[in-house]
Structure 1
């Protein structure tokens, strides 16, 4: 009886030792294995890019202006008020011209300097516009956001060198200033009475007007 129990005990110990040996062997073999990543990734499709990565580097679209309907009744408005209401609803790019005061002595370099100064000042005031010299008495401008045309008009008429600004078919001047054509005609009459002849530069500037 004792012999049978001893045999069973030895068999159980032998079985446990063999089982542990197999587990250790499998663990060692697993540690020796290496994962091989192929260099051929042509067939690999990465569809896990997030939306932020896809939009990175793209120019963000300008915000859409909210629609502001015009007033239904213009009967109580004067002409400048109606023009301002129309300017507020300009959409898309606009361009126009600024006429300089006739008492401002200009050359092409002076006009270019004025245009550059206005461009920098306008950007400081968050008005995205670009001014360019057009002739000895005129500066041209382009503007991406037409809805800022009202602010542009106020900016230009606050510049001492400017006499009037034309945006589309609308012309704006300071209150009380006569049309530029009347100023030119008045200067011609004064020169005629004085018996003086305009210089070549002055004649050229009047022709450009």
Structure 2
């Protein structure tokens, strides 16, 4: 009995020395964790806590060299390859469809609408009206140029978009200069017809 009691006291002393106290009640063990936790260090930080409040960094992209047969590719494919490697901020212009009457207020409204739509799709680009047929844009991340191009050419008001030195139109659309010359030619014909009609009426009045 004395030996058993000595072993029990020794066990209690060992457990209490390691900040644990074990008592035996009804043949069942119960562990008590002490309140003295000043020397406990928790150096595990939650990953979400580390990232909270930090600006999301741009995705790192692997190095993608241009194809070796670049000179043998079609102009459209070359433009796509150049756009894929566009880095940093870019700016450019959107030419609206010619032959449509617009006010500066209408152009500003279109620019604001495009800016809001693209920001909803996480594309940071700002549009601003220049004149009644031109909208300028600035974009911080050139890698979003594909999304920008596809969006602009899907808008009925837009005719072509120029990103840097590259011009994009819908397939089959002629260059803007040709459209302008055609409109000027049609306007000249209308003016000539109106002038001829007016002269005929003046001649009849004289007779």
Coarse TM-score class (shorter-chain normalised): 0.5 to 0.7
Q: Within 5 Å, which residues of 2 pair with 1:175-194?
A: 175-194=171-190
In the aligned structure 2, how far is the partner of 1:65 from the partner of 1:104?
Answer: 42
Runs of 4+ in 1 over 3 A off after TM superposition: 52-61
Q: Within 5 Å, which residues of 2 pair with 1:97-112?
A: 97-112=93-108
**SS of equivalent to 1:165:** strand
**Which of 137, 145, 150 is the equivalent residue of 1:149?**
145
TM-score, length basis structure 1: 0.63
In the aligned structure 2, how far is the partner of 1:162 from the partner of 1:180?
Answer: 11
User: Counting strand residues as a fraction of each chain, which structure ranks higher?
Assistant: 2
Task: Return 5+ residue gaps in structure 2 as ranges.
Answer: 1-42, 193-207
**Which of 133, 136, 144 is the equivalent residue of 2:132?**
136
Alpha-carbon RMSD:
2.3
Shift of 1:120: 1.5
TM-score, length basis structure 2: 0.64
Shift of 1:129: 1.1
Q: Within 5 Å, which residues of 2 pair with 1:36-55?
A: none
- Report what 2:160 is aligned to: 164
Query: Between Structure 1 and Structure 2, whose CA radius of gyration is higher?
Result: 1
Contact residue 104 and residue 161 of structure 1 kept, 8 A = no
Contact residue 107 and residue 136 of structure 1 kept, 8 A = yes
